[in-house]
Amino acid sequence: MTVVPTEANVSQVRILVLTTEHADLLWLGALLAGDLEMQADLTWCPDLVDCDDLVRNTSYDLIIWDCIFHSGSESSFLQYLTVSSGEKPILAISAEPHADRGVELCRLGASDYLSRSNLDRWGLRRAVRCLWYRQQLSESAHGQLGRDVATGFINRDLFFDRLQNALIRAKSASQRLALLHINLDDFRSFNESFGYRQSDLLMMRLAERLRSELRRADSLMRIGGDEFAIIIERVDDALDVAHVIRKLVTAIGEPVNVGGQSIVVSASLGVATYPEAGDSPENLLRRANRAMFEAKRDPGTSYRYYDRELHITAGHQLRLEADLRNALRGNELELYYQPRIDLATEEVRGVECLLRWNHPERGLVGPDEFIPAAEHSGLIVPIGYWVIEQACKRLQESGELGHPGLVFAVNLSFRQFHDRKMTETIFRIIFNANIDTSLLELELTESAMMHDPEYAQRCLRELNQLGISFALDDFGTGFSSLSNLQHLPISLVKIDKSFVQDLGRSADAEHIIKAIISLSHSLQISVVAEGVETEGQLEFLRQQHCDEIQGYYYARPMPWERLVEFLNNRDKAACL
Ligand code: C2E
Ligand code: CA
Ligand code: CA
């Protein structure tokens, strides 16, 4: 017996079709047409790069995607789709017949997979119907829609699934993952004073704001009346998490406008990271929750890590960065200068500019302690420009004080090469300072150029055309062969101090230094040895015809006034 469906029990299934081919849309429409139980309503989305608006704002029940994404990785597109669609079922239709492909696509977030080559009317209808029923069932099982459009709620089961998938990804990629549990402080009294509608509006505004601080891969969910959960994926270290927290804490602290009123809220953040706080969604959630409750004890917006050690590291890092930001504004940074002596003439050829931080509480802080934090936060970019500016100013001054021709060497961090305006900014600084550019030298390590060698080489060439020269710092510790240097405008190599200090203790150090000097010289590159502390080291380097020496044997890094005295004294001694 067949049941002829009446108009009323024909289900309408709204499908968003992601394909660049209009013919495919027509083909899918034809395969689905005439189904007695299901009436498919297709919306075509031909532009996958610019599909965000359609994916987020159109009403549909499921997505069909043809697995073709021309402008990037298919897997990240699929992950994006899962998140942006609010976990709508995704039916992937791929040209590849292999079963493995289906497994891979489902692992990345697709709900089902069909191979294009044997796709027929029956198979497609069955898959669409099945996904649609499943979606309906899961929604009615929870007594509400998985996502309540009005308030941005997502139910806990969906959230659990998402966390589970994120954990699987983190495990397979051996990466960290952080789960943040954010609870608004004193939300109940807000609710009582302003009512539920306004409270929901407030949560929505906050959600939007938090969302804008996250990367696309991270997911933000409202998991309760006054709480959010955030999954931060692809985390390399605790500092990455610390940065996200800093941004979120700042975002929460900004006033929110609700119904014409400006409201300032505070929140407590609990952080649990995989693997430190466990490897199951249950554990992570419980521990983030516990950390959140601990954070509640501190007044104002505050955060707590479940893992104590991470908490300390992150706290230290965030404080350091905040202090460093103030340091740059508050003139707490200072340059010290360490002379470089020409071995043949015993004259001071130049100075290396070395950064120091006059910390208001901790006193003088060395760069090893704060440069990594400055690099991590990107603060090294403005700090680096400040250093160059300061060096140019002193270069100018040294001429006026009767010491013309001194070379000023400034360290460049790898991170400064990420700034696409680097050449332009350096050019502006030296132009304003009106210096003889042949006296400015930039020191960089091999790793500085690794990130994007082509771009780094272009920067070096452009700056070199302005007259600036380059030194390769810490030479011998990296992987480069000297022959690589031939293609770069490098005129100086600095032998790392670890080799100099091993002289007399290891025969290897002697051999390495000899090799570096003779190879550099054969390429018309000068050599500076760093970290020279003893007469013995000096003599060895002299015998090997090393060009210049830098080290405590002659002078330690010193403030500007002391350097001027040092130069004056040497001049006087030379006249005697
Ligand atoms: P670096 O570029 O290798 O600088 C040389 C370091 O060796 C300096 O340490 C210097 O004080 C130290 N040194 C010099 N002679 C001797 C010696 O005879 N014995 C010993 N034991 N050490 C000696 P400092 O000033 O602590 O700087 C450490 C590192 O911080 C620098 O290593 C450089 O990588 C970085 N740095 C310093 N200033 C800046 C800056 O303005 N920008 C950037 N990006 N990095 C900087
Ligand atoms: Ca250096
Ligand atoms: Ca060095």
Q: Ligand 1 within 6 A of 557 CB?
A: yes
Work out the percent of the chain whose per-residue pLDDT is above 70: 92
Which residues does 442 contact at the CB level (< 8 Å), separation at least 6? 409, 410, 411, 412, 463, 468, 469, 470, 471
Q: Does domain 331-575 have CATH number 3.40.640.10?
A: no
For range 322-328, the mean pLDDT: 91
Residue 315: CB atoms within 10 A of its CB come to 15
Structure confidence at residue 71 (pLDDT): 63
373-414, pLDDT tens digit by residue?
A: 898 888 999 999 999 999 999 999 999 999 999 999 999 998
Q: Does domain 11-135 have CATH number 3.30.70.100?
A: no
Atom of ligand 1 nearest to the CA of 367: 30
pTM attached to this predicted model: 0.64
Atom of ligand 1 nearest to the CA of 532: 18
34-74, pLDDT tens digit by residue?
A: 887 788 999 998 887 777 778 877 788 899 998 887 566 77
Q: Ligand 1 within 6 A of 367 CB?
A: yes
Structure confidence at residue 138 (pLDDT): 66
Give the type of residue at 552. Answer: Y
Q: Ligand 1 within 6 A of 369 CB?
A: no
Structure confidence at residue 146 (pLDDT): 40
Q: Ligand 1 within 6 A of 473 CB?
A: yes
Q: Which of 411, 419, 550, 558 most suits a substitution to test ligand 1, by most atoms within 8 Å of the C-beta?
A: 411
**Residue 100: C-alpha distances to residues 40, 105, 131, 463 (Å):** 29, 9, 21, 51
**Residue 253: C-alpha distances to residues 248, 267, 561 (Å):** 9, 9, 44
Compute the distance between CA of residue 489 and CA of residue 469 in angstroms, rounded to an integer. Answer: 7
* SS3 of residue 146 by DSSP: coil
Q: What is the C-alpha end-to-end distance of the chain, expressed in Å?
A: 120
519-564, pLDDT tens digit by residue?
A: 899 989 999 999 999 999 999 999 999 999 999 999 999 999 999 9
Question: Residue 443 C-alpha to ligand 2 middle, in angstroms?
Answer: 6
- How many DSSP H helices and E strands does the chain contain? 21, 23
**pLDDT surpassing 70 at residue 215:** yes
Structure confidence at residue 155 (pLDDT): 60
Contacts 24+ apart (CB under 8 A), 542-545: 542/343, 544/513, 544/514, 544/517, 545/517, 545/521
Compute the distance between CA of residue 567 and CA of residue 397 in angstroms, rounded to an integer. Answer: 13
Omega before residue 46 within 30° of 0, cis: no
**pLDDT surpassing 60 at residue 144:** no
Q: Ligand 1 within 6 A of 100 CB?
A: no
Question: Residue 411 C-alpha to ligand 3 middle, in angstroms?
Answer: 9
Which residues does 366 contact at the CB level (< 8 Å), separation at least 6? 356
Question: Residue 430 C-alpha to ligand 3 middle, in angstroms?
Answer: 24
For range 458-480, the mean pLDDT: 88
**DSSP string over 561-575:** HHHHHHHHHHHHHHH
Candidates 414, 418, 419, 420; CA nearest to 443 is 414
Question: Residue 528 C-alpha to ligand 3 middle, in angstroms?
Answer: 10
**pLDDT surpassing 70 at residue 142:** no
Task: Indicate the average pLDDT of the chain.
Answer: 86
Which residues does 272 contact at the CB level (< 8 Å), separation at least 6? 178, 179, 181, 278, 283, 284, 285, 287, 288, 291, 305, 306, 307
Yes or no: say if 39 and 10 are a contact pair by the CB < 8 Å rule: yes
> Which is more confidently placed, 316 or 473?
473
Domain with CATH 3.20.20.450 in the chain: 331-575
**pLDDT surpassing 80 at residue 172:** yes
> Which is more confidently placed, 239 or 520?
520
Structure confidence at residue 161 (pLDDT): 83
Compute the distance between CA of residue 86 and CA of residue 447 in angstroms, rounded to an integer. Answer: 41
Range with lowest mean pLDDT among 81-95, 441-455, 469-483:
469-483
**Residue 341: C-alpha distances to residues 529, 532, 546 (Å):** 10, 11, 11
For range 259-278, the mean pLDDT: 91
Q: Any alpha helices (H) in 214-307, and if so which ranges?
A: 238-253, 281-296
Whose tokens are 């690794």? That residue is 450
| Highest mean pLDDT out of 17-26, 336-345, 369-378, 478-487 | 336-345
* Burial class (CB within 10 angstroms; exposed 0-12, middle 13-18, buried 19+) of 332: middle
Structure confidence at residue 37 (pLDDT): 77
**pLDDT surpassing 60 at residue 482:** yes
**pLDDT surpassing 50 at residue 143:** no
- Strands in 343-438 per DSSP E: 348-359, 363-365, 407-411
Q: 151-315 has which fold?
A: Alpha-Beta Plaits (3.30.70)
* SS3 of residue 402 by DSSP: coil
Q: Which of 337, 530, 538 most suits a substitution to test ligand 1, by most atoms within 8 Å of the C-beta?
A: 530
Query: 153 is written with which tokens?
Result: 């709620």
281-322, pLDDT tens digit by residue?
A: 989 998 999 899 889 888 889 999 998 887 887 888 888 888
Structure confidence at residue 298 (pLDDT): 87
Compute the distance between CA of residue 501 and CA of residue 515 in angstroms, rounded to an integer. Answer: 16
Structure confidence at residue 453 (pLDDT): 80
Compute the distance between CA of residue 305 and CA of residue 176 in angstroms, rounded to an integer. Answer: 14
Domain with CATH 3.40.50.2300 in the chain: 11-135
Whose tokens are 């082509």? That residue is 454
Question: Residue 413 C-alpha to ligand 3 middle, in angstroms?
Answer: 12
**pLDDT surpassing 70 at residue 356:** yes
Q: Ligand 1 within 6 A of 555 CB?
A: no
Q: Ligand 1 within 6 A of 387 CB?
A: yes
